[in-house]
A and B are shown apart, each in its own frame.
Chain A
Amino acid sequence: MHPFHGSPGNADVQLDPDVFYVCQRCTACCRWPGDVRIEEDEIPKIAGFLGLTEDEFIGQFTRLRTNRQGLSLIERETHECVMLDGNACRIHPVKPAQCEGFPNRWNFPGWRDVCHAVPVPVPPSAG
């Protein structure tokens, strides 16, 4: 097993350097229970995209992360992300880095059973 497998905290980590998984927008990862980490520099972008002040965005859409080291998007009772609107993300153009990095930079045990991402071999010269 790759030493970084399943770690959402390693934003700089490429899980498998030989394969890139192309997201098919299946939204399975948006429905997985847990934190959706929001970093401080992402707050102005997302708030602005939603037409809210930063304070309004924090108040309406965020909570403390489980580890209390920052903010997370709220999850609904069904564990869906609060930003999931049908099968689309309300903030797709400015979505958090955590979302953008799935599943290549982090994932969770069993992700392959639910994620529809397509593996594409990375040429040896790339990256």
Chain B
Amino acid sequence: MKSLRWLPPLILLASLAINCTPYYGGGAPARRGSTRLPMGSLGVPKGPVPYTTSGGMAREVGLRADMVPKGSHGRKVVRPMTPRYITIHSTQNWSADAAQHALALKRGALRAPKRKDGNRIGYLIWHFTVDDHSAIQHMPTTEQGEHADFDGPGNRYSIGIEMCEERGSNLASTIDRTAKLTAILMRKHNIPLRNVVPHYHWPRKGQSPPNKNCPHFLLDNGRPGPKWRAFLARVNYHCQRLNPPR
């Protein structure tokens, strides 16, 4: 039975990319640099849209699985989910990349006080973490995470993607990989662009303010605005890349 725990991630990866091998440096080479967001990085390339498959895009993203074992920590209780939304977060952690977040989740290091109308399981957990050179899956997209709004619809119905903000990382590359991963997941789960939302979208009961300024570098004055719309345009661009040429 022990070996079966790897079945869900393997099935997901197989569905995303036939012949997809673990890959860490896909797409445009990540340049180490400032974590400040260059606004130009949110633009959409002009000209013909180059077609690729979901598997090809997964290789560009550098997608791999490093799951929190079922039955442990954030996956101690498995709550099934049919994903209807994709929620975009940023870690606000200046010292860790995706691999380090994967390690922390597997060790159960990301705790949160479990309380009524608050965190349901005593841990934080989400589905994917993206940095400037890779994306790591931590749990199946058919299970609920604990990343958005406690007992609310953000946790019950959305896939959580965290963007890393490690000091010195290439934030533009992280954002583009996130947009690609989002496009892959939209295609896989038939999720429309209007259901791609920032964490801000989901109010948290009992918190002040209820709507978190997250992901802060894609919001304007703490709210979705031009930067968020530019991010959605980039997601849409990558969605179009997944349409086979006529």
Contacts and interface: CB of A to CB of B under 8 A. Distances in A.
A67 B203 CA distance: 8
- Among B152, B201, B202, max chain A CB count under 10 A is at B152
A40 B156 contact: yes
A69 B156 contact: no
A68 B82 contact: no
Chain B contact residues (Cβ within 8 angstroms of A): what range?
Answer: 10 to 19
B82 A64 contact: no
Contact of A70 (B82, B84, B153): B153
Interface string A90-119: 000000000000000000000000000000
A68 B153 CA distance: 7
Contacts of A58: 82, 84
Contacts of B84: 58
Interface in A19-69: 40, 55, 58, 64, 67-69
B203 A68 contact: yes
Nearest to B157: A58
A69 B82 contact: no
| Residues of A contacting B: mostly | mixed
B201 A68 contact: yes
Contacts of A40: 151, 156
B176 interface: no
B149 interface: yes
A49 B197 CA distance: 32
Contacts of B229: none
Contacts of A70: 152-153
Contacts of B153: 64, 68-71
Given A68-B203, A69-B149, 18 more contacts: A40-B151, A40-B156, A55-B82, A58-B82, A58-B84, A64-B153, A68-B152, A68-B153, A68-B154, A68-B201, A68-B202, A69-B152, A69-B153, A69-B203, A69-B205, A70-B152, A70-B153, A71-B153
Interface of B: 82, 84, 149, 151-154, 156, 201-203, 205
Interface of A: 40, 55, 58, 64, 67-71
